[in-house]
Amino acid sequence: MYVLCPPTPILIDLSGEEGFKLRQRAAKYIEENLNTTGAERGNKEQQGFGALTEIVIREKLGIVNEQKDLAFDILLPSGVKLDVKCRGGELPFKEVYVHSDGLAREAKHNFFARQIYAENLNTDIYLMAHLETPSTRSLPGTNRQRKWKLYICGWVSKKRVLREGVYLPRGSLTEQGNSWFTYRGQEIEFYNKNLNGLNDIKDLLSIDNDDVRKDESRKGDLNLTSVDALRIAYDLVGRGFLNQKQADFVKSKLGIVDTVSSILNPNQYYHLMEWLEDLGQINKKEMENFDKKIKKSLYEGI
């Protein structure tokens, strides 16, 4: 029986001789089994990250039986089907990250939507992970590289991802650090704070089918950053769907005190405000109040 706990990432160092051997095994596996067809499968690099995570988990759990079903990666002793999801990058995994506006954004995980909606991919749970890599992140790397670190974040049932995750079609805008980009595929966002945590990798062995059913009906929190939730609330006020009192409730509930930055540059806001001031729609005091809260971006030279 699994005991619910907060999703605090478990760090596994994959540098050194033992880590290099595991990375070599993952690279060999991908060379022999790379699958570029099917439901929006990841590229070679992404599949390599998943293979490495699966190999590490098998080592930690002592599960050596090969799994041939493409719907999931590991069959736990309880009969629960576990699928590993891992994405990587040069930065370590952070549960929250701070934007240039000083406000924290909560970390999220992404799923290929077609894999979640596909009924024939009958995994029970997903194990979410992040791989920190060197700038050249092709597996296996070299045995001298030290920046190979695996973060095991937590698990969640497939049905809860389907029920609570936020589906975003191609072209949807998402925030990453201090930048924005659009999704090239159909994605489902699910936030790290809503995962089921692990105190130890071997806690996975305690998950049984009753735990999966409990999680399928469990109610998590917002699968949005607090910042995006407030942005949406203010937009809904402007559209007439919410009032200011309801937006203030959202702000209070999320514990946000400072001004949330826009996806647009402050200079574009200044341009509109100055235009309204010229037309007599706002007064000097209103403009001064705006100027105290929103700062212009100044030319910094080439």
What is the model's pLDDT at position 67?
A: 62
Nearest by Cα to 227 from 255, 194, 266: 255
Which of 59-73, 91-105, 264-278 is predicted with the least confidence, judged by mean pLDDT?
Answer: 59-73
In the chain the first and final C-alpha atoms are separated, in Å, by: 60
Are 274 and 246 in contact by the 8 Å Cβ rule? The answer is: no
What is the model's pLDDT at position 217?
A: 96
Nearest by Cα to 87 from 178, 159, 190: 190
In sequence order, the β-bridge partners of residue 154 are 128
Are 88 and 130 in contact by the 8 Å Cβ rule? The answer is: yes
Tokens coding 115:
């894999």
Sequence-distant (≥ 6) Cβ neighbours of residue 152 within 8 angstroms: 9, 10, 12, 53, 57, 127, 128, 129, 198, 201
Given a cut of 70, is residue 68 above it in pLDDT? no
What is the model's pLDDT at position 37?
A: 53
Given a cut of 90, is residue 175 above it in pLDDT? no
**Is beta strand 108-112 parallel, antiparallel or unpaired with respect to 173-176?**
unpaired
pLDDT digit string (tens) for 214-242?
Answer: 999 999 999 999 999 999 999 999 999 99
Are 85 and 50 in contact by the 8 Å Cβ rule? The answer is: yes
What is the model's pLDDT at position 46?
A: 79
Given a cut of 70, is residue 40 above it in pLDDT? no
Q: Which of 99-108, 142-151, 184-193 has the highest mean pLDDT?
A: 184-193
pLDDT digit string (tens) for 95-135?
Answer: 998 887 788 899 999 999 999 998 888 899 999 999 999 98
Residue type, 258: D
Name the DSSP class of 288. H
Tell me how far apart the alpha carbons of residues 119 and 71 are, in angstroms, rounded to a whole number.
Answer: 10
At CB < 8 A and 24+ separation, what contacts does 288-297 make?
293/259, 294/259, 294/266, 294/269, 294/270, 295/266, 296/266, 296/267, 296/270, 297/265, 297/266, 297/267
The average pLDDT across 23-49 equals: 77
- As a whole number, the mean pLDDT across the chain is 91
Residue count of the chain: 302
Given a cut of 70, is residue 38 above it in pLDDT? no
- Please give the residue that has the higher pLDDT: either 50 or 190: 190
The average pLDDT across 21-35 equals: 87
pTM: 0.89
Given a cut of 70, is residue 302 above it in pLDDT? no
The average pLDDT across 263-270 equals: 90
- pLDDT band for position 181 (50/70/90)? confident
Which of 3-12, 58-67, 187-196 is predicted with the least confidence, judged by mean pLDDT?
Answer: 58-67
Burial class (CB in 10 A: 0-12, 13-18, 19+), 154: buried
Which of 130-139, 152-161, 174-183, 187-196 is predicted with the least confidence, judged by mean pLDDT?
Answer: 174-183
